[in-house]
Chains A and B, each alone.
Chain A
């Protein structure tokens, strides 16, 4: 049983990313979209929390949202997979359900 957790809020605005990480089980996937992609930034306060999650979960970030926010690939935490909307659809299919952390 593995779920896809989507997070669309910046970790500096709301605790949704932290809660999503705390409520997601090993083997699940976390996808950062919209302002949630700020959680993918290297050197930012959320990096430790995200890297910790990556120990037993896969973390993804949506490419178009990263680009719009001027977060270049080299500013993204190592190990986060950057995907497009087609990849988002594949993730939805590959997981049992989607849980949106708004």
Chain B
């Protein structure tokens, strides 16, 4: 089964990203393909490398990065939502005159077309949100 996963909420604020992570991990462990994980609305906040959660709590961003690296996942932050919320990679910094970047490794910023493409190419779209 080829899956597309959409995450609409940021880390810690809502359980959506936790549910999405555990679902995605379970699907990969069962041998399914995850075509793309697309982060939209506040979900783009999962892509910042600057979180410092308490030591005794799960590290949501790092968890996505590790899963992404282990399975070579395509973790995409929507560019429009990212611009609104201040998630910046090198390309966005240059284009928009920002003096810093904050994107976590393995994440990339791209357009909403990536979500549409994922929905077309995959067998199932699973949405996690508020």
Contact = CB atoms under 8 A, between A and B. Distances in A.
A34 B15 contact: yes
Contact of B19 (A34, A92, A93, A98): A34
Nearest to B3: A92
Interface residues of A, number: 17
Contact of A89 (B8, B27, B125): B27
B130 interface: yes
Contacts, number: 49
Given A89-B30, A97-B124, A102 B23 contact: no
Contact of A100 (B1, B3, B32, B129): B129
22 contacts: A6-B126, A8-B16, A8-B19, A8-B128, A34-B15, A34-B16, A35-B15, A86-B26, A86-B29, A88-B23, A89-B26, A89-B30, A92-B3, A92-B27, A93-B1, A93-B32, A98-B124, A100-B126, A100-B127, A102-B8, A102-B127, A102-B129
Interface of A: 6, 8, 33-35, 64, 84-86, 88-89, 92-93, 97-98, 100, 102
